Amino acid sequence: MKEKFLRIFSLVFGKEIHENHDFSMKNNPEWTSLKHIEIILSIEEEFGIAFEPQDIPKLTSLKALWEKTLEMVG
Amino acid sequence: MNKNFSILFLQDYKRSDLLALKCSKDHKQYKIQIHRNHSFEMIASVLAPFLDFAEIQASFIYSDYDDSLGYAHKEESDLELIWLDISRYKQIDLVSFLAERIVALRKKSQSPILLLHTGEMDLSGLMALVPDFYLFSILETIACLKEKMFDLEKADFTGTRLSHKACLLLAKRIGLSYIPSLLKPTLKAIVLDLDNTLYQGVLAEDGIENLLLTPEHRILQEYLKNFKNRGFLLCLSSKNEESDVLEMFSRRDDFPLKLSDFSISEINWLPKEQNILKISQKLNIGLDSMLFIDDNIAEIQSVEMALGMKTILAKSPQEVVRILEYYPGLLKKTLSKEDQLRNSDIKANHIRQAMAKELSLVEYFQTLSIKLLFFVSSHDHLPRAVELLNKTNQFILNYRRYNPSQINRISMDSNFCIITISMSDSLSDSGIIAVVIAAVKNGRLFIDEIAISCRALGRKLESFMILNACKIAQKKLNTDNLVYFPYQKGDRNKPCLEWLGELTLQSIQEEKGCIEFKLPEKIDNPGVEWNESLV
């Protein structure tokens, strides 16, 4: 599952994103609001989940997104 | 079709599937300006693989979100795309507003304009407003999603009411159909296999009565017949005994496709690539304007390898219909009279070729009772002139590829003369088959462009048509009897340049140049009736 999750990041950002990568909106200028929504929609589609609208602006790091995805997939 | 790209034609695919596809960087680059009142980015971010399949690379220039369509920061681009969520307009006369804004954009840009909107109302009346303007409701594409067309919960984040699924589906429609139809030439012919493609079964093994026309094959045949009615040429390439196939079509009157629907049939045991090449020569069209459909992977591969052609592997009739619905080059934005005449005219060409072998030139012209009609800057013919100028590859002087706006402007300029030529004979009406664009520059007559339809070639009338057009232009533009033919060598316009060389007795070696020619006082009439239309 983690592999699938990381693959989405790699595809959206067009570069290899590794598991322990400290990757967030704050420390990566290429993580724009457009990329953010692309990541959100791709994860939802891949794992068959739907993030709550109020959570979307908060999920701005790879770590936060992974934890939330894990929680929702169960 | 490249295996990796077959995903593009699936009914369901994910964003990550599309992002994983590697796109070529070798295609021609186009700039597309998006004038919008809702977000297009969710679509643009997955458009590349669809455009790549259509051999297009695109970069996008975005306007601000602007309900008023003010066209601020207008940049030069190859296509103007107006992307509108109609639901944002309340209590205004939408048709008048759009009409005014489209005219305003046309004043700023000569490029094609495409309006994609979310409305259910019929706005097609706006199409005639300015040249080279087309519109589609995106609801037609996403209606299959029903209540999942829109996602209002995410609209604040995505900048559009459209759901993610709707955006993915629209990327396919826009990237494979709409944008290629405005930036690339359309296909001209579809070459079809018979056994296990148009019906279930093998004619030589199962016999005529045992061939199964399943409901899905019926839909496919009806779908293909509809392509024929929209001006595409259907051809057959089948490994069978010709007599068996003729008998099959005469006995299977349940088949929606009749033998007469096919412009050319090559039914024999030769390799298909040889037959397709023959079809291309008979139709006088390039292999890049043709699409080959066959259920046999070996045939598909050998045709792709030998001819580099576009192909569809017919795994099932449903899949072929699904692919054809989106395949680049198969969307006709408008239907001209010539689209309807094309099939019967090509059939008549077989008879003409046989007659040309048997008869002398004068006998040939007299037997056929050929009539040519020359029209000067006829407004009604401008769309057909644009079509000829953009689709002709062989008999074309300069590949100037004028767009509708440029032709419209030229038609109103007293220094130019657009001559369109219609042809008919005792076998068929060919419609408008040639256009000549003449211009007066410093008192001299220049033929800026000539385009003659491949259907009209080989009838030995090229010089007669062009020289008479030059004579008419000379009279209209008040020049002396010297005419100048600027030319540009291209990939495929050798027939036109050879004609020019023979006419002027000059050898055409340079990549481009300009040849002077003295118009004769009288142009020999080879037994052809011709007139200048007063229309």
Q: In this structure, are B278 and B308 located in the same domain?
A: yes
- What stretch of H or E contains B421? strand B416-424
Verify whether the Cβ–Cβ distance A45 to B154 is below 8 Å: no
- Tens of pLDDT, residue by residue over B485-525, are 999 998 889 999 999 999 999 888 889 999 999 999 888 76
User: Which of B230, B429, B406, B434 minimizes the C-alpha distance to B334?
Assistant: B230
Least confident window among A40-54, B147-161, B343-357: B343-357
Q: What is the number of other CB atoms lying within 10 angstroms of the CB of residue A11?
A: 20
CA distance B140 to B120: 9
CA distance B244 to B179: 43
Is B343 contained in some domain?
no
Give the domain-ending residue among B134, B157, B183: B183
Q: What are the chain A neighbours of B162 within 8 Å (beta carbons)?
A: none
B85-94 own/partner pairs: CB under 8 Å, 24+ apart: B85/B37, B85/B38, B85/B117, B85/B118, B85/B160, B85/B161, B86/B117, B86/B118, B86/B119, B86/B121, B87/B118, B87/B161, B88/B37, B88/B38, B94/B119, B94/B121
Q: In this structure, are B261 and B118 located in the same domain?
A: no
Verify whether the Cβ–Cβ distance A8 to B16 is below 8 Å: yes
Verify whether the Cβ–Cβ distance B20 to A45 is below 8 Å: no
Are B437 and B447 in contact by the 8 Å Cβ rule? The answer is: yes
- Sheet with B529-532: list strands edge to edge: B512-518, B482-488, B444-452, B429-441, B416-424, B371-376, B529-532
- Tens of pLDDT, residue by residue over B403-423, are 888 898 899 999 999 999 999
Is B337 contained in some domain?
no
List the CATH number of the domain containing B217.
Answer: 3.40.50.1000
CA distance B76 to B108: 9
Facing B16 at nearest CB: one of A34, A37, A46: A46
Q: Does A37 touch chain B (CB under 8 A)?
A: yes
Q: Which of A4, A34, A58 to mutate to test the interface with B (most CBs of B within 10 A)?
A: A34
- Tens of pLDDT, residue by residue over B263-277, are 999 999 999 999 999
Q: How far is CA B318 from CA B170, B190, B217, B322, in A?
A: 21, 17, 8, 6
Domain of B13? 3-183
CA distance B162 to chain A (A): 13
Q: In this structure, are B30 and B176 located in the same domain?
A: yes
Are A47 and A72 in contact by the 8 Å Cβ rule? The answer is: yes
Nearest CA in chain B to A8: B16
List the CATH number of the domain containing B48.
Answer: 3.40.50.1110
ipTM for this prediction: 0.91
Q: What are the chain B neighbours of A7 within 8 Å (beta carbons)?
A: 16
CA angle B355, B357, B362 (to 5 degrees): 70
CA distance B464 to B242: 39
Provide the mean pLDDT of chain B: 90
Is B492 contained in some domain?
yes
- Looking at residues B350-370, what average pLDDT do you find? 80
Verify whether the Cβ–Cβ distance A41 to B41 is below 8 Å: no
Facing A38 at nearest CB: one of B20, B45, B154: B45
CA distance B160 to chain A (A): 12
Q: In this structure, are B52 and B112 located in the same domain?
A: yes
Verify whether the Cβ–Cβ distance B154 to A53 is below 8 Å: yes
What predicted TM-score, i.e. pTM, was given to this entire model?
0.77
- Tens of pLDDT, residue by residue over B60-93, are 999 989 999 999 878 899 999 999 999 998 878 8
CA distance A13 to B209: 58
Residues of B with CB under 8 A from a CB of A: 14-16, 19-20, 41-42, 45, 153-154, 156-158, 164
Is B453 contained in some domain?
yes
CA distance B448 to B445: 9
Q: Which of B19, B22, B163 to mutate to test the interface with A (most CBs of A within 10 A)?
A: B19
Which has more confidence, B353 or B210? B210
Q: In this structure, are B221 and B146 located in the same domain?
A: no
For the ranges B88-92, B113-117, B392-396, the maximum mean pLDDT occurs at B113-117
Is B349 contained in some domain?
no
* Per-residue pLDDT at B245 exceeds 80: yes
> What's the number of domains chain B is made of?
3
Facing B157 at nearest CB: one of A12, A45, A56: A56
Domains with residue ranges and CATH for chain A: 2-73 (1.10.1200.10)
CA distance A36 to chain B (A): 9
- Looking at residues B139-168, what average pLDDT do you find? 92
Facing B16 at nearest CB: one of A33, A36, A42: A42
CA distance B219 to B321: 8
CA distance B391 to B129: 24
Please give the pLDDT value at position B483: 95
* Per-residue pLDDT at B535 exceeds 50: no
Q: In this structure, are B36 and B169 located in the same domain?
A: yes
Q: In this structure, are B368 and B496 located in the same domain?
A: yes
| Number of A–B residue contacts, CB under 8 Å | 40
Q: How do the residues of chain A divide into helix, strand and coil, expressed in percent and rounded to 5?
A: 55, 5, 40
Please give the pLDDT value at position B405: 84
Give the domain-ending residue among B183, B216, B247: B183
Residues 6+ away with beta carbon under 8 Å from B134: B112, B113, B114, B115, B127, B182, B333
The 3 state secondary structure assigned to B101-123 is HHHHHHHHCCCCEEEEECCCCCC
- Tens of pLDDT, residue by residue over B172-203, are 999 999 999 999 988 999 999 999 999 999 99
Strand, coil or helix: B147: helix
Q: In this structure, are B362 and B455 located in the same domain?
A: yes
Please give the pLDDT value at position B3: 53
Please give the pLDDT value at position B96: 87
Q: In this structure, are B405 and B523 located in the same domain?
A: yes
Is B95 contained in some domain?
yes
Is B331 contained in some domain?
no
Secondary structure (DSSP) of B186-215 = PP-EEEE--BTTTBBS-HHHH-GGG-B--H
Whole-number percent of chain B with pLDDT over 70 = 97
Q: In this structure, are B196 and B178 located in the same domain?
A: no
- Looking at residues B2-23, what average pLDDT do you find? 85
Is B335 contained in some domain?
no
Verify whether the Cβ–Cβ distance B154 to A38 is below 8 Å: no
Verify whether the Cβ–Cβ distance A53 to B153 is below 8 Å: yes
Verify whether the Cβ–Cβ distance B42 to A37 is below 8 Å: yes
Q: In this structure, are B219 and B282 located in the same domain?
A: yes
Q: In this structure, are B513 and B528 located in the same domain?
A: yes
* Per-residue pLDDT at B360 exceeds 90: no
Verify whether the Cβ–Cβ distance A38 to B15 is below 8 Å: yes
Whole-number percent of chain B with pLDDT over 90 = 65
Q: Is A29 exposed, middle or buried (0-12, 13-18, 19+ CB in 10 A)?
A: exposed
Nearest CA in chain B to A9: B16
Give the domain-ending residue among B307, B326, B345: B326
List the CATH number of the domain containing B470.
Answer: 3.40.630.30
Which has more confidence, B521 or B294? B294
Q: What are the chain B neighbours of A34 within 8 Å (beta carbons)?
A: 41, 45
Q: What are the chain A neighbours of B20 within 8 Å (beta carbons)?
A: 11
Are B117 and B135 in contact by the 8 Å Cβ rule? The answer is: yes
